[in-house]
Amino acid sequence: DTAVSQTPKYLVTQMGNDKSIKCEQNLGHDTMYWYKQDSKKFLKIMFSYNNKELIINETVPNRFSPKSPDKAHLNLHINSLELGDSAVYFCASSHVTGGTGELFFGEGSRLTVL
Amino acid sequence: AQSVTQLDSQVPVFEEAPVELRCNYSSSVSVYLFWYVQYPNQGLQLLLKYLSGSTLVESINGFEAEFNKSQTSFHLRKPSVHISDTAEYFCAVFGRTGNQFYFGTGTSLTVIP
């Protein structure tokens, strides 16, 4: 039973399109994250939600909009895709309040913008 | 705030040789320390972690890391590497009073047959 699952695993799309990535965790964690990993493998945090509230919102274009309908889900919607958005996007979750913050990652969603 | 520095971006090493991947951090608060591994075309997996207690922590596949508070380091070592250890390794810290992970820039370990 997958702890953090994200879909789809691969997206190939044209510039200007809109796409969404979904993420679900069944670990009972209170915090969820979106990370972007570029071609050099650098991991950059994009957003973090704690109990459905946005707590980290790094410098990310406002074309990226996260949504957390409940504690177990954090989706990422991207408008007007650009070439530079091509990357692997990782969802993660952790138990922050009273926990160690250890991150559990999904398998990643590889986005290719043509 | 915290920060993490991984001093080596790429480490090539021959099979069965020892390896050390270096990690230094800075923090004004106590931290938890982690090493994550990312095998090719996969997500990140926890390799080992230091929370408290013994400063030497081990993984199930032979890696170990030692928390050195005075040098603010958490270097990862393995006495004899295998081809299957080829991967990207990330050091990370989590401030005990905060809510954010800080990752290093990663070290690409390549094991040469």
Reported as a pLDDT band with limits 50, 70 and 90, residue A1 is: low
| Nearest CB partner across the interface for A90, out of B44, B46, B108 | B44
- Are the beta carbons of A47 and A60 closer than 8 angstroms? yes
Asked if pLDDT for residue A72 goes beyond 80, the answer is: yes
Asked if pLDDT for residue B88 goes beyond 90, the answer is: yes
Separation CA B53–CA B37 (nearest Å): 23
| Nearest CB partner across the interface for B32, out of A31, A50, A100 | A100
Q: Do A43 and B100 touch (CB under 8 A)?
A: no
The average pLDDT across A29-37 equals 93
| Torsion of Cα atoms, A20 then A26 then A27 then A31, to 10° | 30
Cβ-based contacts of B51 with chain A (< 8 Å)? 100
Q: How far apart are the first and last CA of chain A?
A: 34
Q: Do A41 and B32 touch (CB under 8 A)?
A: no
Q: How far is B15 from chain A (nearest CA, A)?
A: 24
Separation CA B77–CA B81 (nearest Å): 9
The average pLDDT across A6-25 equals 97
Cβ-based contacts of B27 with chain A (< 8 Å)? none
- Are the beta carbons of B63 and B50 closer than 8 angstroms? no
Strands (E), B15-84: 19-21, 24-27, 31-38, 44-50, 56-58, 64-68, 73-78
Asked if pLDDT for residue A57 goes beyond 80, the answer is: no
Asked if pLDDT for residue B97 goes beyond 80, the answer is: no
Separation CA B16–CA A62 (nearest Å): 48
For the stretch B28-83, pLDDT in tens is: 888 899 999 999 989 999 999 999 888 999 998 999 999 999 999 999 999 999 99
Residue B28 confidence (pLDDT)? 80
Q: Do B100 and A90 touch (CB under 8 A)?
A: no
Cβ-based contacts of B34 with chain A (< 8 Å)? 102-103
Q: How far is A69 from chain B (nearest CA, A)?
A: 21
- Are the beta carbons of A57 and A1 closer than 8 angstroms? no
Cβ-based contacts of B36 with chain A (< 8 Å)? 103, 105
Q: Do B42 and A50 touch (CB under 8 A)?
A: no
